[in-house]
Every structure is written in C-alpha cells, then in structure tokens.
C-alpha cells in the first residue's frame, strides 16, 4: 500500500507543477492549432481520400490526428522531465526516499499520461471549430482512449529519459523518434497508399492505433483502418509492454 | 537503543569503480549524538562513503550498519533513519518551500496530521518561516541549503548526513549553518555525519576522520590530531630558500621543508620554508638573531588541521579560493590578537 502511495505522491507533484505553469499549457497548444487551421486549410484543397466522399473536409480528417500529436508531444515531454529532475537534483531526493524505484517510474508514467490527456482534452474544445460535433458519449470514449495512448507515449518518454543524460539530446529524440512516429501514424494522410516499409513501421507505432481509434470515435462517416476494438487491444498491449520495459530500464540505471 | 552502542558501524567497507579503488577497506564507528567529520581533498572517497551509507551505492565488499540496520539488506529502514543534504541542491524550485517539505514528509510517511506542524517547526529552526509560501527558485544559495537541512529533519532522522554542507556559501551563512547543526544535536539528539575539505570547518566536529586515497589515515578529536604535529609552525620567506634551509640545518639542527605556496593561510605566494618546532615563539628571536641569510617575512602559528594533513600525507589540502581568503583573514586576526596580548 505504502509503495502505491509513492506513485500517488509523484503524480501529485507533477500535476501541481504542470497546472501552475499556465503559460506552458497554453503555449503547447500553439503548434496543434497551427497544424489544424493553417496546414489543414492549405493542404485540404489538394487531398483526395479513398473510401470517402469527394468533398470530405480534410480538417475533419486531420483533427483526430492532431489530437494524437498533442498527446504524443505532451506525453513524451512530461516523461522526459525526469531528465530535468536529474539535472536540478530533485531526482536524487526521490531516489534516496524509502520508496522503491519502480514506484517513481510508475508515478511518472501516470502523471505524464494525466497531463497529456488533459492537454488533449483542451484541444477537444476546438473540435466544433472544424465542424466536429462532440456528444457526451463521444467525450467519455475519447478521454480513456487518449489516456491509453498517453501511457504508451510516457512509457516511451521514460525509456528515452533513462538514456538521455541532458536535455541537449532531446532534439535528436524529437527529430528521429517523435516526428517520424507522428508522420507514420496516419495522422496527416491515409496509410492505404503508403509503401510497404512505411506500412510495417506504422504497425508497430502505437500512435497509428491511437489516431485510428480517435478517428473512429470522432468521425463516424470516415472509413477507419482497423475496427475500434482492435485498435484498443493493440494500444493496451503496446502500453503494457512499454510500462514494464520503462520501469525496468529506470530501476536498472540507478 | 543503548547509547553506548555506535549508531553507525562500518567494517572493511570497500567500493571499486573499474580499476579505481575509491574506498579501501574503511572501518570506523560513530557514536550517537556525535558530530563526526570526514575530512579530505576532493576525490578522497568522502562522497562515495556517504553514498554507500545512504544506500545509494552498493558496497563492493564490507559491511555497515546504521541505527542497527544493515545498509545492504535493510535499505528502506536505513533510509527512514537518515536525513541527507547533498553537495548539490535537490529541491524542486518550482514548488514553494512548504510544498517541498510536505512532499518530503509524504515520501517518508510522516502522518498527515503532523506534516503542517513539523514543516512550520523546521522552517523556524532554519529561519525561513516567513518564506514558506515562496517558490524555491527565488531563494539564495544559503537559503536553499538551509531549506534542505530543514527538509532533512522532517522525518526525525537519527543521523543527518551533510555532504560539504557549506560549499560555496558566504562566511555568515556558514557560521549560521554550524549554529543549526550544534542546536540540532542538542535539541533533537541527532548524530551529524559530514564531509568537508574546509579545515576550519572540521574543527567544529567532535571527531574527525582524515581520509586520503580511500583510506582513513587518522581518526581523533581535532585537538588531539593537532598535538600530533610537533609544536608550532614557523613559516619563513627567505630570499634564497636553499641557502637558508642549509643554514638552519647546520646551525640549529632544524629540518625545514621548502614549499611553493599559493596565496593561502601561510602567507603570500612564493617560496617558503616551513619548520615545526616545540616552542616556536621562543625559538624565533634566536633564529632571527643567528641567521645570516636574509629573511623577508616570518609567521608563527599553532598547528591547524591542514598541518596535520600535511604531516600525514605530505600534501596540503588545496582549499578553494574563497575559503583560502577567509582563512588568511582569520589568521591575520589571530596574529593581531596575539600581538596585542603580548
């Protein structure tokens, strides 16, 4: 019981920090908004969808993808805060406390996922602006789905944080992991016409299932890639695996 | 626990990093309520030893118990028994002082009803009561260190570890922190285990272990350590160091050591001759009368722990610039006082 209390304490501290930093909360919504309303507007004209009506609005297609992007960035970033904690010394305060190190890692995964989900929830407020009408059941389905996606993102973030010795390496992670993950997830374009190598990569990318699931829930009249149940099952499997691997990696580095 | 029983007991503790033996079969006991100091240059193995005692690092071999718990097999109990202030700050700067303390209290299972009372009390001890609701990022270096000490006390530890507690702090803050340390011992009966490479700071300890290259080379009360050095220390600044050294040897039978000194507590930079003599003050006038080689300046002083270290290891602990300056000031004051009283 005491050990799970430690998970809660880590979670509480991260949330306190996050919700105190209003500027960052608003700021991190900047790029998703730019994507939807500028890129979405511009690219929309030249898009042809397979399996949907010809005049299907690209922004509606893109919105769940951008939701996935928000969760991806917020989740990885929240988890990588371990690197900050290490640099500012606070990680040591947690590591010498009479709590096991797995509870610290698990606390970080859950706090990161909570923060990422809350950022996603903020983005949902913009859904009506692209013409998606949200209903309560929809929102109730979207939130846990986003949480599930977030868990795999924060799990991955922790894994990255155990390898990163300083924040300087984060740019590399951004360019070689996060951006490719985003583009190969089907967030911006349909994967049906993608070459074989991209198709393979997309199948091991948790964000692919995340975006597909979010799109299935939000956009009823667009053909999804996989059934919703399959998406959720894949997400659950990948998330569990990432949680376990990241906890082991975190505990081992100490 | 029986007060006669040591609170920390270390036996043949060893830690190896690759081919480097950082701590080499170290053994010692620390008594309850003692202020115990680890003195040695950077890289001597002080922090490595502390990290092992705090269960942050596994010993390569050897044993140690703290508060009756084994550091290898009873980590959680050891951790619950200790408070630690590291060399570098480990506070969450985005949280307030009070939040940092509350977070710590939760991690250490302090009952919820106690958290508020305790955090108020420890903040008072370190004089930060009015700043409790300010973010830590607005604090000065000295305030942060005080807050860390306060935090280390939140769970009523039996032993407080202070790793270089006053490193980089100004003299007033250093004095203040030492006052807290002594107060804590008196009021709460806790044992303080600290590391330092400041000589004047080590004098505050009940006992000091001098550590060099991973070994304890001496362990005693500061005064007893100083008595091991042969009397007063005379430092001469001759024009020709070698000629003076020879003359001292031939005419007075004194063995002087030539030192290339930095500007530190023994005087300005340059070539010095260092002598140890049982009663330096009465010897000095004879020396000056008898010497034919020219001398630029002379100081006589009682041995310090630096001299102890020098006589044990043949090297000086190189103090950091700021500390060195302070020591010079202190020496000057001491010399002035002496001059007045004579």
**CATH code of the domain in which B262 resides:** 3.30.70
Number of domains comprising chain B:
2
End-to-end CA distance of chain A: 23
B103 at interface of A, judged by CB pairs closer than 8 A: yes
* Residue B322 pLDDT exceeds 50: no
Both B259 and B321 in one domain: the answer is yes
B3-26, pLDDT tens digit by residue?
Answer: 567 999 999 999 999 889 999 999
On average, the pLDDT of chain A sits at 90
Q: Which is nearest to A36 in space by CA: A127, A110, A120?
A: A127
Least confident of A42-51, A63-72, A133-142: A42-51
**To the nearest whole percent, how much of chain B has pLDDT over 70?**
88
Distance of alpha carbon B286 from alpha carbon B279, whole angstroms: 12
In chain A, whose CA is at the least distance from the CA of B92?
A90
Do B203 and B58 share a structural domain? yes
Q: Check if B292 contacts A (Cβ < 8 Å).
A: no
B39 vs A240, higher pLDDT: A240
Residue closest to A186 by CA, chosen among A70, A65, A72, A52: A65
Whether residue A52 is predicted with pLDDT greater than 80 in this model: the reply is no
Q: What is the pLDDT of residues A232-250, one digit of tens each?
A: 999 999 999 999 999 999 9
Q: From the list B79, B92, B109, which residue is nearest A90 (CB)?
A: B92
Partners of residue A9 in chain B, C-beta under 8 Å: 103, 106-107
SS3 B197: coil
pLDDT digits (tens, 9 = 90+) for B238-265: 888 888 888 888 888 777 777 766 555 4
- CB nearest A92 (choices: B86, B94, B109): B86
Residues from chain B contacting residue A90 (CB–CB below 8 Å): 90-92
Rounded mean pLDDT, A54-78: 91
Judge if B217 and B234 occupy the same domain: no
Q: Mutating which of B103, B115, B136, B167 best tests the A interface, going by the most A Cβ atoms within 10 A?
A: B103
Are B197 and B237 within one domain?
no
Average pLDDT of span B73-83: 93
Same-domain status, B149 and B36? yes
Q: Do A92 and B93 touch (CB under 8 A)?
A: no
Q: Name which of B55, B56, B89 is nearest A89 (Cβ-Cβ).
A: B89
B299 bridge partner residues: B235
Task: List, as one string, the DSSP characters of A130-146.
Answer: GTPPP-HHHHHHHHHHH
In a domain, B110, yes or no: yes
Residue B86 with chain A: CB contacts under 8 Å: 89, 92
Name the residue ranges covered by the structural domains of chain A: 2-253
Please report residues of B whose CB lies closer than 8 A to that of A94.
107
Residues B240 and B169 in one domain: no
In a domain, B40, yes or no: yes
Residues B327 and B180 occupy one common structural domain: no
Interface test with A, best of B54, B84, B90 (most A CBs within 10 A): B90
Query: Which among B161, B187, B222 is the end of a domain?
Result: B222
Distance between A251 CA and the closest CA of chain B, angstroms: 12
Q: What is the mean pLDDT of residues A53-74?
A: 90
Dihedral of CA atoms B270, B276, B279, B282 in degrees, nearest 10, equals -40
Residues B215 and B239 in one domain: no
What value does the CA radius of gyration of chain B take, rounded to a whole number of Å?
Answer: 23
- Inform me whether the pLDDT recorded for B319 exceeds 90: no
More confident residue, A141 or B201: A141
Residues 6+ apart with CB under 8 A from A60: A130, A131, A132, A219, A222
B268 vs B277: which has the higher pLDDT? B277
Q: Measured at the alpha carbon of residue B45, what is the angle toward residues B198 and B52, in degrees to the nearest 5?
A: 115
Share of chain B above pLDDT 90, in %: 38
pLDDT in tens, A68-111: 999 999 999 998 889 889 888 899 999 999 999 899 999 999 99
Is B297 or A53 the better-scoring residue by pLDDT?
B297
Is A98's CB within 8 Å of B88's CB? no
Query: Are residues B152 and B295 located together in one domain of the fold?
Result: no
Q: Is the pLDDT of residue A14 over 90?
A: yes
Q: Is residue B174 part of a domain?
A: yes
The whole-number average pLDDT for the span A49-69 is 86
Average pLDDT, stretch A218-222? 86
Could B104 and A20 be called an inter-chain contact, meaning their C-beta atoms sit closer than 8 Å?
Answer: no
Q: With an 8 Å Cβ cutoff, are B107 and A94 in contact? A: yes
Pair (B57, B192) in one structural domain: yes
Asked whether the beta carbons of residue A98 and residue B86 sit closer than 8 angstroms, the reply is no
pLDDT score, position B264: 52
In a domain, B1, yes or no: no
Rounded Cα distance, B255 and B244, in Å: 11
**Residue of chain A nearest B155, judged by CA positions:** A97
* Residue B43 pLDDT greater than 50, yes or no: yes
Do residue B91 and residue A89 have CB atoms under 8 angstroms apart?
yes
DSSP structural state of residue B264: B
- Same-domain check for residues B145 and B234: no
Q: pLDDT per residue over B88-106, tens digit each?
A: 889 999 999 999 999 999 9
Q: How far is B81 from chain A (nearest CA, A)?
A: 9
Half-sphere exposure of residue B155, counting CA atoms within 13 Å on the CB side? 24
Rounded to two decimals, the ipTM of the complex is 0.85
Quick: pLDDT tens for B133-165: 999 999 998 899 889 989 998 998 999 998 887
Distance, CA of B221 to CA of A239 (rounded, Å) = 58
The mean pLDDT of chain B is 83
pLDDT attached to residue B336: 42
User: Sorting pLDDT into bands at 50, 70 and 90, what band is A171?
Assistant: confident
Q: Which domain holds residue B216?
A: 6-222
Last residue within a domain, chosen from B201, B222, B243: B222
How distant is the Cα of A19 from the closest Cα of chain B, in angstroms? 11
Q: Please state the rounded mean pLDDT for residues A202-227.
A: 92
Per-residue pLDDT tens digits for B171-180? 777 787 788 7
In chain B the first and final C-alpha atoms are separated, in Å, by 51
- B24 part of a folded domain: yes
Q: Is B90 close to A98, i.e. CB distance below 8 A?
A: no
Contact B86 A95 (CB under 8 A): no
Window 66-95 of B: residues touching A by CB (8 A cutoff) are 75-77, 79-80, 84, 86, 88-95
Max intra-chain CA distance, chain B: 77
B218 and B234 share one domain: no
The Cα B240–Cα B248 span in angstroms is: 12
Domain end (from B160, B195, B222): B222
Q: Looking at the predicted structure, is the pLDDT value of residue A24 above 50?
A: yes
The kind and range of the H/E element at B325 are helix B321-341
Contact A64, A211 (CB under 8 A): yes
């Amino acid at each position: 019981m005491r050990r799970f209390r430690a998970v809660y304490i880590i979670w509480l501290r991260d949330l306190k920090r996050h919700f105190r930093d209003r500027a960052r909360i608003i700021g991190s919504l900047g790029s998703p908004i730019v994507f939807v309303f500028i890129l979405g507007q511009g690219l929309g004209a030249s898009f042809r969808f397979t399996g949907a009506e010809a005049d299907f609005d690209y922004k509606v297609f893109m919105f769940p993808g951008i939701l996935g992007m928000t969760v991806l960035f917020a989740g990885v970033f929240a988890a990588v805060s371990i690197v900050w904690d290490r640099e500012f010394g606070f990680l040591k305060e947690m590591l010498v406390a009479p709590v096991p190190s797995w509870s610290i890692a698990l606390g970080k995964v859950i706090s990161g996922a909570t923060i990422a989900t809350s950022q996603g929830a903020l983005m949902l407020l913009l859904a009506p602006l692209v013409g998606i009408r949200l209903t309560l059941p929809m929102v109730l389905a979207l939130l846990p789905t986003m949480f599930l996606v977030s868990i795999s993102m924060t799990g991955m973030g922790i894994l990255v944080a155990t390898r990163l010795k300083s924040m300087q390496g984060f740019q590399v992670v951004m360019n070689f992991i996060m951006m490719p993950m985003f583009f190969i997830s089907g967030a911006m374009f349909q994967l049906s016409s993608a070459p074989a190598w991209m198709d393979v990569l997309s199948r091991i990318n948790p964000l692919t299932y995340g975006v597909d699931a979010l799109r299935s829930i939000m956009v009823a009249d667009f053909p999804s890639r996989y059934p919703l149940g399959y998406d959720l099952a894949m997400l659950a499997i990948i998330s569990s695996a990432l949680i376990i691997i990241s906890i082991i990696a975190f505990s081992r580095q100490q | 626990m029986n007060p006669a029983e040591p609170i920390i007991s270390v036996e043949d503790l060893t830690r190896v990093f690759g081919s480097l033996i950082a701590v080499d079969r170290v053994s010692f006991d620390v008594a309850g309520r003692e202020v115990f100091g680890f003195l040695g240059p950077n890289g001597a193995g002080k922090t490595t030893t502390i990290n092992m005692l705090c269960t942050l690092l596994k010993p390569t071999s050897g044993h140690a118990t703290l508060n009756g718990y084994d550091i290898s097999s009873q980590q959680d109990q050891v951790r619950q028994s200790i408070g630690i202030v590291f060399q570098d700050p480990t506070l969450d700067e985005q949280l307030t002082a009070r939040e940092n303390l509350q977070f710590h209290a939760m991690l250490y299972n302090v009952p919820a009803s106690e958290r508020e009372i305790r955090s108020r009390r420890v903040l008072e001890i370190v004089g930060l009561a009015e700043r409790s609701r300010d973010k830590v990022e607005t604090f000065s270096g000295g305030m942060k260190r005080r807050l860390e000490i306060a935090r280390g006390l939140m769970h009523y530890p039996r032993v407080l570890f202070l790793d270089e507690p006053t490193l980089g702090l100004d003299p007033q803050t250093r004095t203040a922190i030492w006052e807290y340390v002594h107060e804590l011992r008196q009021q709460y009966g806790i044992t303080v285990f600290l590391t330092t490479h400041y000589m004047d700071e080590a004098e505050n300890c009940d006992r000091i272990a001098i550590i060099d290259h991973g070994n304890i080379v001496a362990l005693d009360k500061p005064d007893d350590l100083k008595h091991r050095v042969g009397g007063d220390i005379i430092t001469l600044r001759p024009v020709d160091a070698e000629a003076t050294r020879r003359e001292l040897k031939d005419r007075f039978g004194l063995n002087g050591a030539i030192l290339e000194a930095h500007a530190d507590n023994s005087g300005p930079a340059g070539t010095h001759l260092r002598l140890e003599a049982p009663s330096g003050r009465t010897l000095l006038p004879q020396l000056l009368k008898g010497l034919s080689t020219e001398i630029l300046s002379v100081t006589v002083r009682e041995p310090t722990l630096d001299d102890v270290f020098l006589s044990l290891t043949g090297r000086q602990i190189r103090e950091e610039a700021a500390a060195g300056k302070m020591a010079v000031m202190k020496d000057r004051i001491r010399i002035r006082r002496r001059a007045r009283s004579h």
